[in-house]
C-alpha cells in the first residue's frame, strides 16, 4: 500500500470514529514542573485530583519534578464541555499535631497555604492540636474555560507562598516554642519581637509574629547571638523528671546530650549532638570555676576518657542535666560523685 492509500485509510477511520461519536485519541500526558501540585494540574486539564490519582495509580498527593502523569484518558473518553464545570474531589483529612503549622502541612501534601485554608474555610493561619484539616476536601472548585487558563495562571503566579498574620493571641497550653514553630521563627526572634525577657506567657496575651526586630539605642550587649540565660534555664526546668532514654531527644525521654540540644534549640541555638562534639565546638570558650555564670555548660568525664557527660549551670554551684537514674534533675557540683569527675566549664560565645 502506498503512502496516499495509508493516509486515506487513516483519515477515513478518524472520520468514521467522529461520525459514530467515539474518541480514538491517545492518553494526554503532563510532565511535572517545579512548584506544581496535583490540584493545580487537575485545574489546568479540567480533571479531578481523584481521576489523576486513579489513572496514575497514586496512593497520595505527593508528586515529583520530572514525573510524567496521565492527565486525560483517550480511550472511550466523552468530549468535555468548554463551559464552566464544578467538581467534587474525594475527602482526605489530617489531624493537627502539636508544633504543626499550615505551611508545613501544606508542603507535606503538595498544596499552597492559601489552597489549604480555602479547603478548610480558614481566615487565619491559626490551627490547634487535634484539629482535623481537609486536604483534598469536599470543596467545590469552579474550573475555568480554556479561554480563561492564562488569567488563572497569572493569578497563581502572583499568589504568595505563605500568608502571615501580624499578631497571635496566646491560648491555654501554648508555649513560645510551639508558637515560634508555627510561624517559622526561632524562640529568640519571637521573644525579641515582643521584648520578652523570659519564656513565660499567659492565655489571652497578644504576641507579634511578624515584622523586624528593632534594636534599642541603649542596648549594651556586645554579643548579638548570646543565649538568653534566664530563658534557657526556664526551658530546662520544665522537663525536670523526664525519664532518661538512650538516644532520646524529645520530652518523651532524653539522654544527656539530647536534653542539651533540645533545650538550646528552644532558644534558637543549634549545638552538636554528642557531649564530646559540644565540648570540642569552636564556639565554646573555656571559663574558670570562679567566673562560671548561669547558662554555662559544665562537663564531666564518666564512663570513658574525655568529656562524656554535661549539664547546664543554674547557679548556687548546681547544674541541671539528664541522669541515667532519675532522668532530668538538678545536682550539686560539690557532691562526691560529680566533683571527682568534673573537667571544666565552657560558654557559648557566638
Which residues are part of the catalytic machinery? 256, 309, 321
Q: What are the Cα distances from residue 267, in Å, to 254, 284, 295?
A: 18, 17, 12
Write down the residue that cell numbers 534566664 correspond to: 230
Are 84 and 145 within 8 A, CB to CB?
yes
Are 37 and 111 within 8 A, CB to CB?
yes
Instruction: Report d(CA 255, CA 245) in Å as an integer.
Output: 5
Backbone CA torsion sign across 264, 269, 273, 275: negative
Are 229 and 269 within 8 A, CB to CB?
no
Cell numbers that stand for 115 in this block: 489552597
Beta partners for residue 86, in sequence order: 142
Instruction: Report d(CA 260, CA 319) in Å as an integer.
Output: 12
Are 189 and 164 within 8 A, CB to CB?
no
- Select from 338, 344, 246 the least CA-distant residue to 289: 344
Q: What is the dihedral of CA 244, 249, 255, 257, to 10 degrees?
A: -150
Instruction: Report d(CA 2, CA 80) in Å as an integer.
Output: 36
Amino acid at each position: 500500500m502506498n503512502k496516499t492509500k495509508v493516509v486515506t485509510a487513516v483519515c477515513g477511520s478518524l472520520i468514521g470514529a467522529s461520525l459514530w461519536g467515539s474518541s480514538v485519541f491517545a492518553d494526554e500526558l503532563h510532565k511535572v514542573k517545579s512548584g506544581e501540585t496535583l490540584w493545580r494540574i487537575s485545574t489546568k486539564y479540567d480533571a479531578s485530583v481523584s481521576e489523576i490519582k486513579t489513572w496514575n495509580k497514586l496512593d497520595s498527593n505527593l508528586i515529583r519534578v520530572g514525573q510524567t502523569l496521565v492527565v486525560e484518558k483517550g480511550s472511550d473518553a466523552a468530549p468535555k464541555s468548554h463551559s464552566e464545570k464544578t467538581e467534587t474531589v474525594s475527602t482526605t483529612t489530617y489531624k493537627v499535631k502539636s508544633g504543626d503549622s499550615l505551611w508545613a502541612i501544606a508542603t507535606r501534601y503538595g498544596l499552597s497555604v492559601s489552597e489549604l485554608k480555602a479547603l478548610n474555610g480558614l481566615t487565619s493561619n491559626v490551627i490547634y492540636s487535634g484539629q482535623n484539616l481537609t486536604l483534598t476536601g469536599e470543596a467545590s472548585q469552579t474550573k475555568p474555560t480554556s479561554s480563561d487558563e492564562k488569567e488563572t495562571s497569572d493569578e497563581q503566579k502572583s499568589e504568595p507562598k505563605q500568608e502571615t498574620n501580624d499578631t497571635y493571641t496566646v491560648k491555654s497550653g501554648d508555649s513560645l516554642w510551639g508558637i515560634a514553630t508555627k510561624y517559622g521563627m526561632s524562640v529568640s526572634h519571637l521573644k525579641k519581637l515582643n521584648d520578652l525577657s523570659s519564656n513565660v506567657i499567659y492565655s489571652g496575651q497578644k504576641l507579634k509574629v511578624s515584622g523586624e526586630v528593632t534594636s534599642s539605642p541603649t542596648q549594651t550587649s556586645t554579643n548579638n547571638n548570646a543565649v538568653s540565660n534566664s530563658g534557657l534555664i526556664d526551658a530546662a526546668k520544665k522537663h525536670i523528671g523526664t525519664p532518661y532514654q538512650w538516644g532520646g531527644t524529645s520530652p518523651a525521654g532524653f539522654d544527656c546530650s539530647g536534653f542539651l540540644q533540645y533545650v538550646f534549640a528552644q532558644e534558637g541555638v543549634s549545638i552538636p549532638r554528642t557531649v564530646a562534639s559540644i565540648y570540642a565546638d569552636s564556639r565554646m570558650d573555656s571559663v574558670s570555676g570562679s567566673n562560671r555564670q548561669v547558662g554555662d555548660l559544665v562537663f564531666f568525664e564518666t564512663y570513658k576518657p574525655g568529656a562524656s557527660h554535661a549539664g547546664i549551670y543554674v547557679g548556687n554551684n548546681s547544674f541541671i542535666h539528664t541522669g541515667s537514674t532519675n532522668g532530668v534533675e538538678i545536682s550539686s557540683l560539690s557532691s562526691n560523685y560529680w566533683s571527682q569527675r568534673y573537667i571544666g566549664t565552657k560558654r557559648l560565645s557566638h
